[in-house]
Amino acid sequence: MYFPDLHIEELHFGVKAIKVGWLDSTQPYKKAGDDPRTLEKIAALITKLEEIGPAVFTRGFHVCPFCRDKTSSTQFTIKIGDGKTFYDAPHMIIHYMLAHDYMPPQEFIDAVMNYKK
């Protein structure tokens, strides 16, 4: 399922989901460039977030639209601000970052880097 980065999905009761990492092979995305260590660090932090579970949802399996690798369709969220807004990202974001040089928006990276349980 494709959403442009930072697309805001209005949910019920004033809750908003900010979509990050919902890529599709027909849409362009920002690439990281020359710093694979940054990608690896962010991917490791995201993996750690999933392990401590800010909120995790599983929806079967997903096939990468770029290379056809298959992975879990797990999603995770990171609450921000007033608690009614959160980032919503697929587990596949780690694969996109490491295998396809995807760079999430800076505000998402900042939220991951500053996340405290």
Tens-place pLDDT, residues 78-91:
888 778 999 998 88
What does the pLDDT read at residue 53? 58
Alpha helix segments (H runs only) across 12-91: 36-52
Residues of the chain with pLDDT under 50: none
Distance, CA of 108 to chain centre = 8
Annotated domain spans of the chain: 7-114
Determine the pLDDT at residue 1.
83
Residues 104, 107: Cα–Cα separation, whole Å: 8
Give me the pLDDT at residue 117, please: 60
User: What pLDDT does 50 receive?
Assistant: 66
